[in-house]
Amino acid sequence: MAKNCTTTDPTDPSNGQQDILVQAALSLALGVSAFVVFCILRPRWRSLYAARKRKQDAADALPELPDSFFGWMPVLYKVTEEQVLASAGLDAYVFLSFFKMSIELFGIMFILACAVMAPINKTYVWLPTPGNPKNPHPQANLSSRQLDGTLSLGFGPEIVTMDQGKQKEDIRYLWAYLIFTYFFTGLAMYFMTRQTKRIIQVRQDYLGSQSTITDRTIQLSGIPLELRSEDKIKEFLEKLEIGKVENVTVCRDWKRLDEMMDKRLYLLRNLEEAWAVHQGRRSLKQLRVTLQPNPHANGEESEQEDAHEQDNLLNNHVVAYENPRPTTRIWYGLFNLQNKKVDAIDYFEEKLRKLDDKIIEARKKEYNATPLAFVTMDSIPACQMAVQALLDPEPMQLLAKLAPAPSDIVWQNTYLPRSSRMIRSWTITIFILVLTIFWLIPVAALAGLLDLCTIRQVWKGLATFLESHSTIKALIQTGLPTLVVSLLNVAVPFLYDYLANMQGMISQGDVELSVISKNFFFTFFNVFVVFTVFGTASRFWPVLQDTLRDTTKLAYQLASSVQSLGVFYTNFILLQSIGLLPFRLLEFGSVSLYPILLMGSRTPRDYAELVQPPLFKYGFYLPSAILIWILCIVYSILPIGYMILFFGLFYFVIGYFTYKYQLLYAMDHPQHATGKAWPMICYRLLIGLGVFQLVMAGLIALKAAFTAAALVVPLIPFTIWYSYYFGRTYEPLTAFIALRSIRRENDPNVNIADENIGIDRPPGYHRRRSTTLDEEREKGLKFVNPSLIVP
């Protein structure tokens, strides 16, 4: 330990007040400025902030938002769950349900923390005593020991000795910790179970009353060689008497055809660009007029504007044909060492014509069948019975699962051999483990900034300077680490999204669920576990060795570190909620990239893509929200808990309205996951509950209340049992449609057994009679590789 290095009491709230005030000022400056800019730009830039409302038919039923500065907020608040389902689908409903559940849960916990736990903590933990005015009960470290009738508790460089009788008298408040550990665990499980039942009811009602080609189609994998044809698969399934087969699409090795279609798109874009250059580009002023419609237009006026935009998009390019024709350089000869310039339009047009002839011929060829097929049944019950049954006694053969939507399929991966997909999956998994070790370096460095003693060991002058400048010290020790960690949470998902797409999954829905899993692993392990348990790089190896020798020390170390990082995580949640969520509403990335993309746009296709709604990816936003949920639970009982619960509640309130606006009005989500993210959310919340119980057991044990600590331990196996119970009881209903939930097409209130449905729908929810969002999306679609049929 460096000389002149003083430790601070982590349970004393006054130690972090300066840091929290500085972080609050920084977050307010960021958040308020972003929110004000959004409110100014929203009515003026509808092509971005109302892109989904303008382009998606499913959003027509949503109310128009007023153009006033704050007038849009009450209208957004009044949008019902039924309207969310109708316009954004089940995935959006499930995502927002998590935020609503968290608001209710943490609202109750915050009230209890303020009314009960805060007075208890103030009386027993913060109360000054002679000899130690800051803290009467220093936290025990891993070297706690009993000697000669006294209890020696080591914390940092100090050793404090107390009489055991006095210690036993003072730790009676820890029984309140035990009681509230049980109560908050039960409360969290109650809300989780209640919300799961609501989601199941809505999901079964929603999916049971619609009829899409996806709802009637199974994905059949592991098909043996003797069955790899449409007729044989149809004959096999109909012999099982599950139902009639309407259509079979055997996936074949279309690699060569797909490559030609990709090349065709490349040539087509080059030809369009050459033609646009020849006709002349519009000025930026004309472009702004086209892409920024009248903010007061709606209804028929908006449709007329859209038509006018399309006319402008085409006609504004027309100039005199006397312009010189563009050229392109081509390379030829031995090793392509010779080159010459040719007419670009003629060159790409001829290349496109020749390639089209090859594609027409390629579509007529027969390709080798793969072990994968999409089978469309004549009814939804037949499909559900097929996917919920074992079709073949051989392992890994004729496995049936629900098919993804046709537009969701990654056709290039359908003809990848299973072995290739497995190799890709394991390779990327190993790579992510290596990345996890790599992330330890920057995370440990950031953790070092939280400790002035560590800074003094590395840079004594900086530590001395920070001691004399409290505001700069708060910015360096708290503001900088929280900002960098938050930026990592924004940047790392892009990398994991790329890696998930490289794994060879069949559908984009599976990719997105994989991104959620990968990003949560990063945020939970690197931002919470490593940051909390190991701290600085200098402590990493000793702590790891101690943990491997005695796993119980992990609980002690976790409990000891959690308290010291309370201010950091308070500031982290503060920055996420007040500072960064308004930037998500502003869509800062799209706004900053728009001028660059605008300057690079030349063709009508470029302009059309420029005004498409941005994609909303749950894997980018959900893991951070789950981490904050876990932090709120872990700190809920501790002295700083009321503060973390307050800012956590604030995060989920702001997040609910931010993401509600984006999902309904600004951003699109084309995947067809039908709410399957909910079990993933619940399992990760249960991990958080397990950490909460482990921390409380370690914390109570550190204060020598071993009986109370031992009584916390049964909660851990109970939580594990509940996860298995959840998997057996509720998870199947989040993956399949119960046969009794399926409605007759001529009467949506009667199921296939001619019985009235007894589903208790959530308050305010009524099944809409028009077509669902999925039915609109899949109208006219078939399970056919687009390379075979696209014009």
Domain ranges of the chain: 13-204+420-776, 215-254+367-403
Give the model's confidence band at 302: pLDDT under 50 very low, under 70 low, under 90 confident, else very high.
very low
Question: Comparing C-alpha atoms, which of 374, 392, 396 is closest to residue 383?
Answer: 374
Least confident of 62-66, 115-119, 226-230, 331-335: 331-335
Q: Measure the CA–CA gap between 145 and 140, rounded to whole angstroms.
A: 9
User: What pLDDT score does 137 carry?
Assistant: 40
pLDDT band per the 50, 70, 90 thresholds, residue 541: low
pLDDT in the model for residue 414: 92
* Closest C-alpha among 370, 395, 373, 398 to residue 239: 398
785 vs 125 pLDDT, higher one: 785
In angstroms, what is the C-alpha Rg of the chain?
30
Whole-number Å distance between alpha carbons of 507 and 673: 10
- Max alpha carbon distance in the chain (Å)? 103
What proportion of the chain, given as a percentage, has pLDDT over 90? 40
Cβ atoms < 10 Å from Cβ of 431? 12
How far apart (Å, rounded) are the C-alpha atoms in residues 164 and 551? Answer: 27
Q: Which two tokens stand for residue 638?
A: 């501790």
Most confident of 280-284, 388-392, 449-453: 388-392
Per-residue model confidence as pLDDT tens digits over 311-322:
433 444 444 456
Who wins on pLDDT, 382 or 603? 382
Residue bearing the bigger pLDDT, 533 or 89 = 89
Fold of domain 215-254+367-403: Alpha-Beta Plaits (3.30.70)
The residue with greater pLDDT, 212 or 286, is 212
Q: What is the pLDDT of residue 727?
A: 94
Task: List CB contacts of 135: < 8 A, sequence separation 6 or more.
Answer: 9, 11, 12, 125, 126
pLDDT band at 450 (very low <50, low <70, confident <90, very high): low
Measured CA to CA in angstroms, residue 467 lies from 16, 17, 158, 476 at distances of 14, 15, 21, 11
The structure's pTM equals 0.83
DSSP secondary structure string, 386-399?
Answer: HHTS---SSTTSSE
Q: Would you place residue 471 in the very low, low, confident or very high pLDDT band (cuts 50, 70, 90)?
A: low
Q: Could you read off the pLDDT of 233-257 as tens digits, one per residue?
A: 999 999 998 889 999 999 999 999 9
Residue pLDDT, tens place only, 57-97: 667 778 888 988 899 999 999 999 988 988 888 999 999 99
> What backbone phi and psi angles, to 5 degrees, belong to 220?
-105, 115
pLDDT band at 310 (very low <50, low <70, confident <90, very high): very low
Q: Is 141 in a helix, a strand, or coil?
A: coil
Reduce the DSSP state of residue 329 to 3 states and report it. strand
The confidence score (pLDDT) of residue 173 equals 82
Residue 14 CA to residue 10 CA, distance in Å, equals 9
384-398, 591-605, 693-707, 723-737 — which is least confidently predicted? 591-605
In angstroms, the CA 380 to CA 204 distance is 13
For position 375, what pLDDT does the model report? 95
Region of poorest pLDDT, from 476-490, 672-686, 721-735: 476-490
pLDDT computed for residue 452 by the predictor: 59
pLDDT of residue 97: 95
Name the one residue in this structure whose structure tokens are 């009508």.
604
What kind and span of H or E run contains 268? Answer: helix 255-279
Three-state secondary structure of 640-693: CHHHHHHHHHHHHHHHHHHHHHHHHHHCECCCCCCCCHHHHHHHHHHHHHHHHH
pLDDT for 488-521, tens place per residue? 888 888 999 999 999 989 999 899 999 999 999 8
Predicted confidence band of residue 752 (pLDDT cuts 50, 70, 90)? low
Model confidence pLDDT, tens digit, residues 182-234: 999 999 999 999 999 999 999 999 888 888 899 999 999 999 999 999 999 99
Whole-number pLDDT of residue 2: 43
Distance from C-alpha of 211 to C-alpha of 305, rounded to nearest angstrom: 34
Model confidence pLDDT, tens digit, residues 764-779: 444 444 567 777 778 8
Q: In this predicted model, which residue has the larger pLDDT, 573 or 487?
A: 573
CA distance 674 to 16: 44
Q: pLDDT band at residue 324, thresholds of 50, 70 and 90?
A: confident
DSSP tag of 16? G
Helix axes 677-702 and 174-208, enclosed angle (nearest 10): 180
Q: Which residue has the higher pLDDT, 313 or 260?
A: 260
Single-letter code of the amino acid located at 21: L
Cα–Cα distance measured from residue 469 to residue 750, given in angstroms and rounded to the nearest whole number? 72
The band of 478, judged by pLDDT with boundaries at 50, 70 and 90, is low
Query: CA 458 → CA 371, 418, 439, 445, distances in Å?
Result: 59, 51, 21, 11
Mean confidence (pLDDT) of the chain: 79
| Long-range contacts from 766-772, C-beta under 8 angstroms, 24+ separation | 766/82, 767/205, 767/206, 767/209, 768/82, 768/85, 768/86, 770/86, 771/210, 772/85, 772/86, 772/89, 772/206, 772/209, 772/210, 772/212
* CB-based contacts of 271, cutoff 8 Å, min separation 6: 345, 348, 349, 352
Q: What pLDDT does residue 548 have?
A: 54
Q: What is the pLDDT of residue 138?
A: 37
Virtual CA dihedral for 452, 453, 459, 460, nearest 10 degrees?
100
